[in-house]
Amino acid sequence: LARIALDAMGGDHAPAAAVTGALLALRDFGGSDTIQLVGRGDVIRAEVDRQLATDFARLKSEAKRIEIVHAPDVIEMTDKPSVAIRGKKHSSMVVGLRLQPEGLSDAFVSAGNTGAQMAGSTFILKLHEGLTRPAIGTMFPTMRDHLVVLDSGANVDCSAEELVQFARLGSVYAEDILGRKKPSVGLLSIGEEAEKGNAVVKAANALLRKARSEGINFQGNVEGRDLPIGASERGPIDVVVCDGFVGNVILKFYEAVAPMIFGVLSRHGVTQQQLSEALEDFDYATVGGAPLLGVRGVSIIAHGKSSPEAIKNALKVAARCVESRMSDHIGQRLAQSAAKHQGAA
Amino acid sequence: LARIALDAMGGDHAPAAAVTGALLALRDFGGSDTIQLVGRGDVIRAEVDRQLATDFARLKSEAKRIEIVHAPDVIEMTDKPSVAIRGKKHSSMVVGLRLQPEGLSDAFVSAGNTGAQMAGSTFILKLHEGLTRPAIGTMFPTMRDHLVVLDSGANVDCSAEELVQFARLGSVYAEDILGRKKPSVGLLSIGEEAEKGNAVVKAANALLRKARSEGINFQGNVEGRDLPIGASERGPIDVVVCDGFVGNVILKFYEAVAPMIFGVLSRHGVTQQQLSEALEDFDYATVGGAPLLGVRGVSIIAHGKSSPEAIKNALKVAARCVESRMSDHIGQRLAQSAAKHQGAA
């Protein structure tokens, strides 16, 4: 039974995509979950009514589980994140996030300004003990199954200790959301051997080997080639840890490379039907949203270009985070790690 | 008229792939270029004779332009690079590289231990003035055409100034080998804006903007998504500058992602014929070898798994580097940059 706040004003196709995404998600949820559309009340109300009168008349009963939370202001894509969060107290982003500490909501989803969502989530939801930063965990389609790459953009210059924090966050995520038992963690580097990598990665390798004693299933270094395969020579990989610079470059590269290869193939006469079927495996809309890991609550980052389908899937990710109680598990995991290290010291 | 030394003992399929690659290259060259096969004389001689007696009888006249340079020792893939270069003076790697300062050869190609080739090239050929490190320049297939990514593995922790050095090296490479006029240079980052990126990248962006005055056609930051496209919103990209950690991760990821997508497609019933035609665009064998840029001479790094076809193409890259006098142009370019900066100071 999750109450999910959705930023109705964020993203390139707001508010229409948000409203459609909410209706589709409520149909799929089927239960008694509710969605709180946060933004300009009159605009959202008009859009909901319009969609119920036209394309989605069949979803009238689902619409009853939509609640509108008025927020008159909007954080623009071009706004400076921390300035916007401090200055625009009545924006859909700030109002939507504040519902959680007020006990009125369980999760927040936005396709708006990602930097502002990160700053706002950290500021309003706060971080779990034992963390210096939150991380964005992104699903990567692989030959085997999805794996989680983190950080994929929140933090560009990371310390070795922060990479270990990402390993803890990613392990809980893979367990709670992907259902992996003892998820295996790989450290992204340029060679399998522990001594390969840049200075931070080499130090992180040593720390991660120690962290096996606290239950991190550290597999060792993994390489770029292991990502599309979803496994290294040592076995399947569930979580890949890297700093946000590398993670973001790889993520954006991946998003662009599949369409490029399909373009090449269609020049070679492969049919549109075959391509669009295959493309589903690579469509980021099927994944929908990436949770900002480490905050005390649920904050799901959706792509600015999100379609209604992508918004729907982001809402589903939010519901899964709430139902699995992932944020609590992260807090417990971090407390255990801290206790372990205090015991050892 | 190039004399190209080929490490006959390096790579997973040595010496057979080296001998076949040399014969195929000589057939394609057609001119009076010669290839020096460096390694155990008796082993190489026996392999050349075997191939001429069986599969390549038709290439007997080409074989006259093969010279065997004896080197009794071999640097193994597992040897520590700098130790091996100092300790194994009679290895095919050291002997093959030494031919250049001795005036006996114009280029060196190896599919052997990459670290040793980098250390040996730096130590034996020396660096051009104005450089602190050499860089590996790798060709990336894109939707538009190939672009050069550097560094793609030689240097993991780079300063901003070193990234500018890579821009100078890559510009000459793109001009001499890819034939681009005033090649456009992009700095790999996580956003187009100059203020996006990690600390080193932000500093490099400022330095590269200044370097426009010395003729670097700096386009600004580029993102992961621009790589497969071969262009950013500002226009085509010929050279992408990044540190060797990111470059290596991206390169290995790219090598693995195309086969993975083709695997998905063949599950969707795309024919083998269509796939193998399309695959040619992504086959690293068609590129063959990556030059180590910045050394005073020509040193081409081939993949350890190189097939004869890949070796042949690496030899062609070597010939193109020699004929275009790329190394001299790099020296001139760096001298001009230094003069410009002294003039400004």
Instruction: Taking each helix axis as running N to C, give the angle between helix A244-267 and helix B244-267, from 0 to 180 degrees, rounded to the nearest 10.
Output: 40
What proportion of chain B, given as a percentage, has pLDDT over 90?
79
User: Token pair of A193, please?
Assistant: 């051997």
Strand pairing class (A3-7; A34-39): parallel
User: Token pair of A39, please?
Assistant: 């933004």
Q: Are A224 and A166 in contact (CB under 8 A)?
A: no
> Do A260 and B142 count as a contact with CB atoms less than 8 A apart?
yes
Q: Which long-range contacts (CB under 8 A, 24 or more apart) does A86-91 make?
A: A91/A9
Determine the pLDDT at residue B245: 96
> Do B197 and A156 count as a contact with CB atoms less than 8 A apart?
yes
CA distance A188 to A139: 15
User: Token pair of B312, please?
Assistant: 């042949």
Q: Are A138 and A251 in contact (CB under 8 A)?
A: yes
Q: Indicate the residue of B264, B268, B278 with minimum beta-carbon distance to A264.
A: B278
> Do A263 and B198 count as a contact with CB atoms less than 8 A apart?
no
pLDDT digits (tens, 9 = 90+) for B138-148: 998 888 889 99
Q: Which long-range contacts (CB under 8 A, 24 or more apart) does A327-332 make?
A: A327/A128, A327/A295, A327/A296, A327/A297, A327/A298, A329/A172, A329/A175, A329/A176, A330/A128, A330/A168, A330/A169, A330/A172, A330/A293, A330/A294, A331/A128, A331/A129, A331/A296
Per-residue pLDDT tens digits of chain A, which is 345 residues long = 899 999 999 999 999 999 999 999 999 987 789 999 999 999 999 999 999 999 999 999 999 999 999 999 999 999 999 999 999 999 999 999 999 999 999 999 999 999 999 999 999 999 999 999 999 999 988 888 899 999 998 788 999 999 999 999 999 999 999 999 999 999 999 999 999 999 999 999 999 999 999 999 999 999 999 999 999 999 999 999 999 999 999 999 988 888 888 888 888 777 878 777 777 766 666 667 899 999 999 999 998 888 899 999 999 999 999 999 999 999 999 999 988 877 765
Cis amide leading into A73 (omega within 30): no
Determine the pLDDT at residue B289: 87
Determine the pLDDT at residue A289: 87
Strand pairing class (B147-150; B239-241): parallel
Determine the pLDDT at residue A131: 94
pTM beyond 0.80: yes
Determine the pLDDT at residue B319: 93
Determine the pLDDT at residue B95: 98
Q: pLDDT grade, residue B342 (50/70/90)?
A: confident
> Do A198 and B252 count as a contact with CB atoms less than 8 A apart?
no
Per-residue HEC secondary structure of B151-196 comes to: CCCCCCCCCHHHHHHHHHHHHHHHHHCCCCCCCEEEEECCCCCCCC
Q: Indicate the residue of B157, B251, B264 with minimum beta-carbon distance to A198.
A: B157
* Conformational region of residue B99, where left means phi above 0, alpha means psi within -120 to 50, and beta covers everything else: alpha
Mean pLDDT of B9-17: 94
Determine the pLDDT at residue B197: 94
Burial of B177-198, coded b for 16+ CB within 10 Å and e otherwise, reads: bbebeebbbbbbbbebebebbb
DSSP letters for B71-126: --B---TTS-HHHHHHH-TTBHHHHHHHTTTTTS-SEEEE-S-HHHHHHHIIIII-
- Which of A:199-228 have CB within 8 Å of B? 199, 201, 223-228
The complex's ipTM works out to 0.88
Is B279 an 8 Å CB contact of chain A? Answer: no
pLDDT digits (tens, 9 = 90+) for B49-91: 999 999 999 999 999 999 999 999 999 999 999 999 999 999 9
Cis amide leading into A28 (omega within 30): no
- Which of A:146-175 have CB within 8 Å of B? 153, 156-157
Phi and psi at residue B263, in whole multiples of 5°?
A: -60, -45
Determine the pLDDT at residue B259: 81
Residue B285 has pLDDT above 70, yes or no: no
Residue type, B14: A
Which residues on chain B are in Cβ contact (under 8 Å) with A199? Answer: 156-157
pLDDT digits (tens, 9 = 90+) for B186-241: 999 999 999 999 999 999 999 999 999 999 999 999 999 999 999 999 999 999 99
Determine the pLDDT at residue A342: 78
> Do B224 and A252 count as a contact with CB atoms less than 8 A apart?
yes
* Conformational region of residue A77, where left means phi above 0, alpha means psi within -120 to 50, and beta covers everything else: alpha
Strand pairing class (B135-136; B289-293): antiparallel
CA distance B25 to A16: 60
User: Between these two residues, B21 and A145, which has the higher pLDDT value?
Assistant: B21
> In the 8-state DSSP scheme, what is residue A32?
S
Query: Residue B199's CB: how many other CB atoms inside 10 A?
Result: 11
Q: pLDDT grade, residue B262 (50/70/90)?
A: confident
- Which of B:218-277 have CB within 8 Å of A? 223-229, 242-246, 248-265, 267-270, 274-275, 277
- Rounded to 5°, the CA angle B39-B40-B41 comes to 105
